[in-house]
A and B are shown apart, each in its own frame.
Chain A
Amino acid sequence: MTISRGAAVSNEAVAMPRKSRGPWALAFAKLKRNRAAMASLAIFLLILIACLSAPLYARWAGVDPFSSTLDAVIQIDGAEVPVMEQSTEGLGLGYTPLGPTWRLGNYFLGADSQGRDVMARLLYGGLNSLFIAGAATIFTLIFGTSAGLVAGYFGGVTDTILSRFLDVLWAFPIYLLAISLSIVMIAQGITIGPITIESGSLWLPVIIIGIVYVPYVARPIRGQVLSLRNSEFVLAAINLGVPGSRILWRDILPNITTTLIVFVPLMMALNMLTESALSFLSIGVQPPDASWGTIIQDGQALLYTRPIVALAPGIAIAISVMALNVFGDGLRDALDPRSKVQLGRD
């Protein structure tokens, strides 16, 4: 009985019109089964949403994260507490900012050396850090992909010129190049044609970080395009008389999108670290704007009295970067299990 029933079911399944599942649908199904990747994505999205609600938090808590409030006084359990407390140790010079109150409301994580709400600055800083990392990723992907596509597809002199140029960029240690670019640009800003970016603009770190990583994307893309260029389906398209630009768009680009998608979270993570490092060295985001890097720098002076100021953004960076990396690995496993795509020199 059971055997015949089983046979009937399988026949039915064969007769049923099967829904065609493209490569994207298959990859997405595989990604959904990867719990670590999905959890990481959830954590990252949570951080993103929290940072996006930074203005809401500031208004709700009634704090201004961008101007110093050294003489503010707040109410805790009915008692009035100054945000900046006169130091009682030693000579009694200097002030110690308020520690974390751990109560919903203002100064949840205490105040920084200028009496500003650390929680509000953390959220605003996260917003900037994420924005810079995201925008720099887009910048890198656009320029890196274009360079890789053109160099790989057209080859010859075009390839030689582009590749040598990228090699020059590649030859610099990342941070040395980023720091050099920052020092040049941070002071005066830059003007490219009609676009002027003023010093202190968030777009400066975006461009600096974006430029620095272009070869890291262009190289693997160029390699992929080179091998796709000689694949039979591209030859078949050439044989059909398909124009080169159409082959690039319809045949080659769709086959490197998986690589590009895998690059997104990994680049984001890398960019966040670079941004924090530059901001920590005060050549990234400029005050009064905040980013996780600048908050760590602010917290450096308070490391003994109020370690939370430096710890909070540090933990935020660590969690975000880890979430992005785990998600990126999951994405790679789902989209392109055979590829050895990775960012970095080796």
Chain B
Amino acid sequence: MIDKDQPILETRELSKRFSIGTRFSSQGKRTVHAVDNVSLTVRRGETVGLVGESGCGKSTLARCLVRLYDITDGRLLFEGDDITGKSLTELRPFRRRLQMVFQDPSASLNPRRRVGDLVAEPLRIHTDLSSREISKRVAELFDLVGLLPDHVMRYPHEFSGGQRQRVGIARAIALNPDLVVLDEPVSALDVSVQAQIVNLLADLQEKLKLTYIFIAHDLSIVRQVSTRIAVMYLGSIVEEGPAEELFATPAHPYSQALISAVPVVETTPAGTRKRIILTGDVPSPLKPPSGCRFHPRCPIAADRCRTERPQLTEHRSGRKVACHFPTLAASDG
């Protein structure tokens, strides 16, 4: 049996850098530090929410986690197996158990193929089911995600965004995976549809004992679905902890600013909640700032922050933060 405590997915100082341009282009060869030294542990059955602004490397990290991108540095372990350097062929057995749902369902479904065919694809690749058994399984999956049986013969363009995402989810769970990476699964959808999809994902998690990595920039959704949250800024994780705790007492100044930006309808007395507005823009990942990546925008930055990069360390039980002054930040917020 599998060790209960063994993390299902673990990254150790994982980095992904892209090279753009060549020696001959005007600015020479440059490197984008898309994901920088991310160490993340995901345990069986939990939902890890990954939040951050657009362009902070969430999607790149997601694609590294399922090895759609090659990893530049660090290690990626799936149930203790090192899959960092495995080739596409060697990865095939892992694909069954490690699936992904993409952000834009209209882009992630091939417009030229019927949706039933798309959902059947993983079954054809990974199982030796007969075509009758496959269509039976596809019908089951359609039922599971709330689509009608006669939808199988339709093309993606004949569906609404929410239905398309249901197809994407059906395809991802077709092989009974253990871990599903959800890359902003609802951000391309209408608000009314978002709730339906989030509920569907929660139902499926319960029924199929799934583990989720849920990526989003919408904090209220992440708060609702996640058991644990990791906050990303400029390619690195700046804070990590249990969802409710992190929302209640964010320790990193960036998390504080992010959480203070969530609109609330709570009955908090006016004035107790302070909206923290950050100055400046996210620096370019082409030229990340020295020291703490956040120091140019940080309200409590000190000299030390400009030179020394804080590591993600446990500052309270179960809470990790990458900041030199987490307590100060916490009391300040």
Contact = CB atoms under 8 A, between A and B. Distances in A.
Contacts of B107: 231-233
Given A232-B104, A236-B100, A241-B91, A254 B110 contact: yes
A243 B122 CA distance: 11
Nearest to A228: B110
A245 B95 CA distance: 17
A14 to B, nearest CB: 14
Contacts of A233: 107-111
Given A233-B108, A235-B68, A241-B95, A20 B158 contact: yes
B315 interface: no
Contact of B154 (A20, A242, A243, A251): A20
Nearest to B99: A239
Nearest to B102: A232
Contacts of B320: none
B8 to A, nearest CB: 17
B104 A242 contact: no
Contact of A251 (B88, B92, B100, B110): B110
B88 A244 contact: yes
Interface in B70-84: none
B111 to A, nearest CB: 6
Interface string B157-194: 11000000000100100000000000000000000000
A17 B151 CA distance: 11
A230 B96 CA distance: 22
Contacts of B153: 20
Given A23-B157, A232-B104, A239 B150 contact: no
Interface string A229-263: 00111011111111110100011001100000000
Interface in B112-165: 112-114, 121-122, 125-126, 150, 153-155, 157-158
Nearest to A20: B154
A17 to B, nearest CB: 7
A231 B153 CA distance: 23
Nearest to A22: B155
Contacts of B110: 233, 237, 250-251, 254-255
B125 A240 contact: yes
A242 B99 contact: no
Contacts of A238: 68, 88
A222 B88 CA distance: 23
29 contacts: A17-B150, A20-B155, A20-B158, A21-B158, A22-B114, A22-B155, A23-B111, A23-B155, A23-B157, A232-B107, A233-B109, A233-B110, A235-B68, A235-B102, A236-B102, A236-B108, A236-B168, A237-B110, A238-B88, A239-B100, A240-B99, A241-B122, A241-B126, A242-B125, A243-B125, A244-B88, A250-B110, A251-B110, A255-B111
Interface of B: 63, 66, 68, 88, 91-92, 95-96, 99-100, 102-104, 107-114, 121-122, 125-126, 150, 153-155, 157-158, 168, 171
Given A237-B110, A241-B126, 14 more contacts: A20-B158, A22-B114, A23-B111, A23-B157, A233-B109, A233-B110, A235-B63, A236-B171, A237-B121, A239-B66, A240-B95, A240-B121, A241-B122, A254-B110
